[in-house]
């Protein structure tokens, strides 16, 4: 049986400030990511199955991982394939939030690996606003295309 490709969908919130715009990224929670910063941040996203459309999944995941409610219209940013082979679909929307108000859902992981010990962690431990140039330092490399596509859309 063929291995099924994992799929994720997410939303990239942006805000405009004078001539500059910023994007809101999140940092994964848990001990594996605790000391990782550069290249570890991501668009709020999560997996979905074919039973749920990717845009609906992106909205659900954004709410679950941040506690913030996304607002239409959504600008399609296409998809990227991460190193793991996972395909990530994304949309952007204009909004604003205070990162201090972020409230993430939790999940259980085995930690340390192969210990058979389950710990509960937040899926996201923090969020932050970044200019696109600074975001490229912190964002997973595979997701840089979402920033470029958003910049192109906002220039039009």
For 33-91, how does the pLDDT look when each residue is reduced to its tens digit (9 = 90+)?
A: 999 999 999 999 999 988 899 999 999 999 999 999 999 999 999 999 999 999 999 99
Is residue 22 assigned to a domain? Answer: yes
CA 65/CA 104 separation, integer angstroms? 4
| Cα–Cα separations (whole angstroms), residue 101 to 72, 79, 97, 118 | 21, 29, 8, 27
The residue that leads in pLDDT, 156 or 120, is 120
Residue 114 lies in a domain: yes
Look up the CATH number of the domain holding residue 123: 3.90.79.10
Q: What is the pLDDT of residue 41?
A: 98
* pTM of the complete model beyond 0.85: yes
Residue 108 lies in a domain: yes
| Measured torsion, CA atoms of residues 88, 79, 94, 56, in degrees rounded to the nearest 10 | -60
Range of the domain at 92: 7-155
Structure confidence at residue 19 (pLDDT): 80
> In percent, how much of the chain has pLDDT > 90?
90
* More confident of the two residues 30 and 19: 30
Whether 120 maps to a domain, the answer reads yes
Q: What is the pLDDT of residue 2?
A: 53
Residues 6 or more apart in contact with residue 52 via CB below 8 angstroms: 60
pLDDT band for 105, please (50, 70, 90 cuts).
very high
112 found inside a domain = yes
Average pLDDT (5-32) is: 94
When divided into structural domains, the chain yields a total of 1
Whether 3 shows a pLDDT value over 90: the answer reads no
Q: Is residue 61 part of a domain?
A: yes
Q: What pLDDT was estimated at residue 85? A: 92
pLDDT score of 60:
97
The single-letter DSSP state of residue 33 is T
Q: Is residue 13 part of a domain?
A: yes
Q: Is 58 part of any domain?
A: yes
pLDDT range class, residue 18, cuts 50, 70, 90: confident
- What confidence score (pLDDT) does residue 129 get? 98
- Contacts for 116 with CB less than 8 Å, ≥ 6 apart: 110
């Amino acid at each position: 049986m063929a291995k099924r490709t994992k799929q994720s969908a997410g939303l990239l919130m942006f805000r405009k400030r004078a001539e500059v715009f910023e994007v809101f990224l999140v940092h994964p929670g848990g001990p594996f990511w605790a000391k990782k910063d550069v290249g570890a941040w991501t668009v709020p996203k999560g997996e979905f199955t074919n039973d749920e459309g990717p845009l609906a999944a992106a909205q659900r995941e954004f709410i679950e991982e941040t506690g913030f409610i996304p607002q239409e219209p959504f600008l399609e940013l296409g998809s990227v394939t991460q190193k793991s082979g996972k395909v990530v679909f994304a949309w952007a929307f204009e909004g604003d939030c205070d990162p201090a108000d972020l409230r993430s859902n939790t999940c259980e992981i085995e930690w340390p690996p192969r210990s058979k010990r389950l710990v509960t962690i937040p899926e996201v431990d923090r969020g932050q606003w970044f200019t696109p140039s600074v975001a490229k330092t912190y964002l997973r490399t595979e997701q840089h295309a979402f920033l470029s596509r958003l910049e192109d859309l906002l220039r039009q």
